[in-house]
A and B are shown apart, each in its own frame.
Chain A
Amino acid sequence: MEYKNVLTTCIYCGCGCGLYLETLDGRITGVWPAKTHPISQGKLCIKGWNASGFVYHPDRLKTPLIRKDGELVEATWDETLSLIAERLGTIKAESGPNSIAFLSSAKCTNEENYLLQKLARAVIGTNNVDHCARL
């Protein structure tokens, strides 16, 4: 019998609310708001309260999928990243950098979003950077 509460940060938006993932014998059994957290002070929105919902969900994607002959097929990260790099290179060469847009995410850290816009601007050469919350 091992009961634990593990502090983490909600992954659903940029607010950074603190929450505990409650685990029983290594399996997540719920969420507690973090009352001592300076940002959220023991409060959460509906997404935070359900932040663990996807963990064991049968529809959860665990590997990248590549569409091959109209079918989504599981792929490795190496294969996927190579394909993305190759396609971005081709599209840029054929249609110019402004034919490409980058969508960042509130689920990522500031630093990750910084890196994404850097990739857009410095590597591809476009200012087409937007945010998932505006989709």
Chain B
Amino acid sequence: MIEEIRQAVAERLEELDGVVALRKSSKGVAPHLFQKEDDLSELEIAPRYPLMTVVSKLHKVFPDIRLGIVARGCDERAFVEMAKRNQIDPDRLSIIGFACTEEEAQECYCSEPYPQHLLVGTPPPPGPPNPLVAEYEARSLEKRRVFWKHQFLKCLKCYGCRNICPECFCEACAMEDAAWVEPGLLAPPFPMFHLIRAMHMASRCVACRQCELTCPAHIPLTVLYDLMRRDIETLLGYVPGADMAAPPPLSVTLDEAPLLVGASH
């Protein structure tokens, strides 16, 4: 599979200014911008990094470049939501999509482990739902509160969950605003610190799991975000990342005109 991806990248590099993917060196694997002269045998597909964040940085600094990205399902979903919020220019990005393995889909409890622009690989069966969510929902309201209180007490306030999230891109962050989160407290104030982020992820979270993977305190953050995604789907009929044409429900004005442009496809 990886050879097919390298081949596809080589072909796209004939027309594009670069392709964002992972690069493996003797020192490890990191995001990279492959350009024509680069050695594509170094291109890797694991572990997962939020590569759309790299595309966004490059698109903003270089307004004319045309890029490609080697993308999984979650990268493509991040692409859709970022495009709707003007974080990237969809007309300047070409997606080289590949399917995750069955094991990866299970590990991530991923319901859509492949991109719509699928070029390489065949879609594996979706992963099972996260069993922690059902466990959580079996609890009483008070026990749920205790669960989160206990989990969030472990928080080191590293802001890693926010930093790595492809959908966290506000210039001024409420989680750093003393009006919302009293500074100098560790663990951060319960539940404000975490619920601010959760609320801001409503209609944005694309279930990439990056937040949970980077949390040094092993807080099962996707329990929160899975439930947020489910509420947004049942209450507002919106699935983040699924459809470029669907306006994000929380970014429309009261007369239902979309507030933000960018959803040109």
Contacts and interface: CB of A to CB of B under 8 A. Distances in A.
Interface of A: 1-5, 7, 18, 20, 22, 24, 29-30, 32-37, 42-46, 48-49
Interface stretch (B72-80, B91-99, B121-129, B158-166): B158-166
Given A24-B61, A34-B28, A45-B156, 13 more contacts: A1-B18, A1-B35, A1-B62, A7-B28, A18-B28, A35-B47, A36-B28, A42-B213, A42-B214, A43-B216, A44-B214, A44-B216, A49-B159
A32 B29 CA distance: 11
A1 B164 CA distance: 23
B253 to A, nearest CB: 33
Size class of the B contact interface (CB-based, 8 Å): 20 to 34
Contacts of A45: 156, 158, 216
B157 interface: yes
B54 interface: yes
A46 B29 contact: no
A8 to B, nearest CB: 10
A99 to B, nearest CB: 37
Contacts, number: 69
A3 B58 contact: yes
A74 to B, nearest CB: 34
B31 A32 contact: yes
A2 B18 CA distance: 10
Interface string B18-53: 100000000111111101000000000001010000
Interface in B107-139: none
B58 A43 contact: no
Contacts of B168: none
Interface of B: 17-18, 27-33, 35, 47, 49, 54, 57-58, 61-62, 65, 156-160, 163-164, 213-216
24 contacts: A1-B17, A1-B33, A1-B35, A3-B33, A4-B32, A5-B30, A20-B31, A24-B61, A30-B57, A32-B30, A32-B49, A33-B160, A34-B28, A34-B30, A35-B28, A36-B29, A42-B47, A42-B214, A43-B214, A43-B216, A44-B214, A45-B158, A46-B157, A48-B158
Contacts of B163: 49
Given A36-B29, A46-B158, A24 B47 contact: no
Contacts of B156: 45-46
B160 A49 contact: yes
Contact of A24 (B27, B57, B164, B216): B57
Contacts of A42: 47, 213-214
Contact of B32 (A5, A34, A49): A5
B160 A35 contact: no
Nearest to B23: A5
B21 to A, nearest CB: 11
B156 to A, nearest CB: 6
Contacts of B32: 3-5
